[in-house]
Structure 1
Amino acid sequence: MDGLYYFLKGYVYQKVLKLIRDEVAHVEDIWKDPIICGCVLRTNRGLPCAHELKMDILVGSPMPLEDIHVFWKKLNMIPEKFVNRTGYNFNDEIQRVVAKFDSCIDGDASLRVIQQLKDISRPSEISGVAPEAKVRTRGRPTLGDY
């Protein structure tokens, strides 16, 4: 029975595997009378119902991932490699920023530009301070506020 879930492990949530496992338990009832199925799991949750699972079990093939509704699939958290599909040349824009920075006479303006570029390139090293806690201005103060 583990072969039934071969394509699903790691791509769908554990709850889906549990729901399908529970539905496989109903397959034995469907062997006798296919009308009993009712396709509740398919209509309510977008998952294969007992009579569909019966066919996969008979053939002995794993359940395809396409049978699972998109809602139940896990997101891929691995970022894809950036591909510039716009045709825009970012290097030209960077060269313009460097030229503007070199021609800048004001020292304060150049420091602000450097700080903004650091914030963009290294967000873990942002020198900003955390926002202050909100002060409650309405209502009666609680005992802990005194």
Structure 2
Amino acid sequence: MSWKVIHKNLLLQHTKIKASFGRSLTMVQHTCEHSIFTFTRGYVSITALDLVQKEMKRCESIGLDVKTCCCTLRQTHGLPCAHEIVQYKRESCPIPLPSIDSHWKKLSCEPTTSTNSNAYYMGEISMLIKRFENSNNELKLDMLKKLKEISNPTTTTLVEQQVKASTRGRPKNALARRQAEAEASTTTNPSSFELASIFYKRKSRMLNQQ
């Protein structure tokens, strides 16, 4: 096979891949309108969504039984398998983006410039923006307030609760009794008279117990 033929085939494959990425970003397939795909539509390859859609057909017979599920799709493609999908359905939770392997979330032919790319989080951020746009003014203000506290912790309205030591009631043990006596004292360090008084009181109690 000549180089021109190979080059032509590679260009054709590249064009098909780019077209597939475009469909994944803009097109919603009828089979993927289920609410379980809320977080993944437009952020994951439609090929991956088709595989998950086919896996959903096994859910009724698999349930939450991991052994029966075998987790083949998870191990071979990095996609949620039947028992995982069942769990998401029971919790009324869409399939989260982190459960999808990063291979299926790369919808561009451009090379990744950094291994710490923020593209991984764009799906969650986009969902937050959509939630903000569809909220009323009161909820928008509440969301902005929480975001401000996250970006600048010094602005938080939360105050750490101060726990006061209880001085009421009789101390339950010797350590608690000594602490109570120390707190009850009006001076920082007890005087020799106080020390002698405490000593004789303890000695008197010990003699009475014998």
Alignment TM-score, normalising by the size of structure 1: 0.49
Which one has more relative contact order, counting CA pairs under 8 Å at least 6 apart? 1
More helix by share: 2
TM-score by length of 2: 0.34
